[in-house]
Structure formats: C-alpha cells, structure tokens
Amino acid sequence: MNLNSGYPFWLIKDGLPYTFPKLDCNKTVDVAIIGAGISGALVRYFLLKAGVSCVTLDARTIGLGSTSGSTSLLQYEIDTPLHRLIPKVGKQQAERAYHLCNDAILTLEHIAAALDFTEFESRSSLYFAAYKKDRSFLQQEFEARKAAGFDVSLLEEAQVRQQYGFEAPSAILSRHGAQTNAYAFTHRLLQYKKGKSLDVYDRTAVVKTEQQRNGVVLHTEQGFRVKAKRVVYATGYEVVELIDKKIVDLQSTYAVVSEQYPDRAAFWKDEVLLWNTADPYLYLRTTPDGRIIAGGRDERFHQHTKRDRLIPQKAKQLAADVQKLFPDLHFKTEFTWTGTFGATKDGLPYIGVYDKVPNSYFALGFGGNGITFSVVAAQIITELVQGKKNEDAPIFAFDR
C-alpha cells in the first residue's frame, strides 16, 4: 500500500545512505523479520544483541514506508491521556505503559550513542491547552502524571506567554522527551553487525507463508525460501489483513517543514516539543539545521488518492496554525507530505502472540508515538523468542 505521498523531509535530506540487496538464495534462521522500517530494525538490533540469528525482509527499499514519513518526536505520552487511560486498563497498567515509553526514550538515547548516531536530541515537551475549556482537562492530566512519578509542571496562561512566547490557557511542561530522525536511525540500526553476515534484504516481498511443524517457510516473489522457527511481523497497519481489522482505525496525518531560519534565537524557549489538546492535535518541533516541522490536521483514511489530494489544503492550514501561534516566525513551507497510521481504542500498541497466526509475533506500534512503542515491542519479543516470560507483555496483548 502507498503509505506516504509528497516530499518527506528526511528522504530528501538523506537520500539512500546505504544499499541492500534482494534475497537471491534460500535461508535458514531462528527468526525472520518482515518489515525493515524503524520497528523491524529495532527488533533485529535487540535479537542480534541477544545472539538470535535472524533475517530481515522488506518489500520496499529500506525506510520508504511509514518510517520516512515520521516527524520523529519521541514522547512518553501516548494518544490516550493518562487520566483517561487509567479507567480503561487500570492504574497499574496505565502508569506502566507510560513509564515503558519513557524508558524507551532513554534506551534509544543509549543505542544512538553506541552506534555513534548524532541525530538524537533530548527535549522537554510542552502540552498546551488549545481552548479555555481544556484547563480542567490539563489539571487532571497533570495530577495523574505527577502521581505516576513524572517530572512535570503545570503552567498558567501568563507563564506560557512569558516563557514560550505564545498564547495558551495553560500547559504541562514535561522534562521527558527527545527528537530524532527515524529514517536515518533505521539505516544506522541496520548496519549493526551487517558485516558479519548478510541478513537484511529489501525489494523482497513475501508472497506466501507456509506453516510447518516446527516453524514457517516464507516464500518470496523471486522464488526463494526463508525457513525460520518464528516470524516477527513489523509492517505496521499493512499487516491488518492477518488480524482482526476492528482493532485498528486508519488515519492520515499531514506534515510541513519550513525553510531554514537564519537565527535559531527566533524559535521558542529551549526548542521544546510542542503539542496541544485539540482533536486532531497540532504538534511542532525544530530540526538540527534550523527548520520547523509541524504536523496534524488528521483525517480518517479511506483511499490514498483522496488523502493525497488534500496535501495542498492541509499544508496551508498547518502553516497558518504555526503562524497563528508564532506571528513573528514568518513560516514559509518548503516540504509537505502525508502518511497513514493506525490508531487503537485505548491508544496502546499490539505486541506479541496472535493465536490465529502460529509461530509468529507482532510488533504493531500503532499510534502517535510508534517509535517508542517499537522499542517496547523489540524488548518484549526478544524475551519471548528466548522462551522467557515478560511481565509487561499482557499490557499490549491482543486479548487484553
């Protein structure tokens, strides 16, 4: 499926930093990973660190699915606010899900350092009220996060104006967050131990999965086979044909990137990650080369042609959103794109075993912070592959 359209900034910026071959022989491994975006790359990284042999296959050129369309904000907050998630899944599980996402940001920071990947920047996050009526909502969310142990402050309207230079009735300042480049990070992750064995293949579509007594055999469109004990599906919402389609709601989001600003002092304080309480919410970040990325204006996904026709309109709206927030920034759009993502009823991803698909694990990081969910999925699946019990797996299970 066509996951992105337009000109994703990261793809223009980085091009194709590494090349990968098509699979041209049969393989036998412990685990086959289908999908080599950020989710599949992280699963591969953790499996190799644990000494598990694996092969990674992608039907596209590496990174050209949802990964290249990611705006790469890293937040511990999920799409369902904590104080609303608690009644849905229980206080212990809700708080644990939030802390796992926060831990994932720290894990990504350590991985980036280990791989000498420099496009990772720690950032605070400012979650601000889009309307006056959202003040009580933010008060409840602040109290829930504070009780859960997060380093947060509740700012009043005057504080937001004085410190960050825009108007908002109130805001939660979280000292947990980061930003990165998911596309470049994926390519760097896939270089890990690449020289020891050839195990990453792109332009290699799996057209048939054959279940056997002790595993599976994947048949590629080129006629080759990969025999594995287990398969990990890390293809995002494209895998919904294998599972219950009711668990995910497809949405399209839109993004714009400004021209470079000559003076970073023009940006807001500390260049914190910005997002608001509107539905759909507006989100902003900066880039290392002095640009602003803005995203949002989500629509229910129906077909990619209809989604794509909206790019010019949505780009104008997003630019206007930024300009309204910061009138002095003179936002001028240079890159625009759209992408499709999956959302769930509780905002949590689906990770682990799905009973109707034997010998398989799923790493489905649905939602607005799929990168942190991908870390959680990689950690859980690596332990499950090794026959270990993971105490957090039930939080994200298909039968929750």
pLDDT digits (tens, 9 = 90+) for 272-320: 999 999 999 999 999 999 999 999 999 988 788 899 999 999 999 999 9
Cβ count near 354 (within 10 Å): 20
Q: Which of 175, 197, 212 is the endpoint of a domain?
A: 175
Residues in the chain: 400
Same-domain check for residues 235 and 361? yes
**HSE, side-chain direction, 13 A CA sphere, residue 343:** 16
Question: pLDDT higher for 229 or 196?
Answer: 229
Question: pLDDT higher for 237 or 264?
Answer: 264
Whether 59 is covered by a domain: the verdict is yes
Same-domain check for residues 222 and 256? no
Whether 112 is covered by a domain: the verdict is no
pLDDT band at 11 (very low <50, low <70, confident <90, very high): very high
Same-domain check for residues 46 and 62? yes
322 touches 294 (CB < 8 A): yes
Same-domain check for residues 378 and 234? yes
* pLDDT at residue 398, rounded to an integer: 93
The whole-number average pLDDT for the span 217-227 is: 97
Same-domain check for residues 187 and 53? yes
Percent of the chain at pLDDT above 70?
98
Whether 38 is covered by a domain: the verdict is yes
Same-domain check for residues 25 and 146? no
* pLDDT at residue 3, rounded to an integer: 53
Whether 13 is covered by a domain: the verdict is no
Same-domain check for residues 192 and 254? no
* pLDDT at residue 385, rounded to an integer: 97
The CA-CA-CA angle for residues 3, 8, 12, to 5°, reads 130
CATH number of residue 295's parent domain: 3.30.9.10
Same-domain check for residues 284 and 327? yes
Chain centroid offset of residue 115 CA = 20
Task: Locate 324 and state its tokens.
Answer: 């309204």
Q: Which of 300, 320, 343 is the endpoint of a domain?
A: 343
Mean pLDDT of the chain: 94
32 touches 364 (CB < 8 A): no
Same-domain check for residues 220 and 192? yes
The whole-number average pLDDT for the span 197-208 is: 92
The CA-CA-CA angle for residues 282, 284, 289, to 5°, reads 155
Write out the residue range of the structural domain in which residue 330 sits.
249-269+280-343
Same-domain check for residues 50 and 23? yes
* pLDDT at residue 233, rounded to an integer: 97
User: Helix H segments across the chain?
Assistant: 9-14, 38-49, 82-89, 91-114, 135-147, 157-164, 182-189, 304-309, 311-325, 370-385
Cβ count near 153 (within 10 Å): 14
Question: pLDDT higher for 99 or 246?
Answer: 99
- Give the bridge partners for 253, in sequence order: 339
Same-domain check for residues 237 and 352? yes
Please count the structural domains in the chain: 3
Whether 328 is covered by a domain: the verdict is yes
251 touches 340 (CB < 8 A): yes
Q: Which of 343, 361, 387 is the endpoint of a domain?
A: 343
Whether 373 is covered by a domain: the verdict is yes
Same-domain check for residues 316 and 382? no
- Give the bridge partners for 4, in sequence order: 339
Rounded alpha-carbon distances, angstroms, from residue 372 to 35, 212, 251, 366: 17, 33, 19, 10
The CA-CA-CA angle for residues 159, 160, 166, to 5°, reads 140
pLDDT band at 5 (very low <50, low <70, confident <90, very high): low
Residue 177: which of 241, 313, 270, 304 has the closest Cα?
270
Location of structure tokens 């709601």: 249
pLDDT band at 1 (very low <50, low <70, confident <90, very high): low
- How many whole angstroms separate alpha carbon 15 and alpha carbon 35? 19
CA dihedral 105, 39, 18, 194 (to 10 degrees): 90
* pLDDT at residue 357, rounded to an integer: 93
Backbone angles phi, psi at 293, to 5 degrees: -105, 130
The whole-number average pLDDT for the span 172-180 is: 97
Whether 211 is covered by a domain: the verdict is yes
* pLDDT at residue 301, rounded to an integer: 84
Predicted confidence (pLDDT) per residue in 71-130, tens digit = 999 999 999 999 999 999 999 999 999 999 999 999 999 999 999 999 999 999 999 999
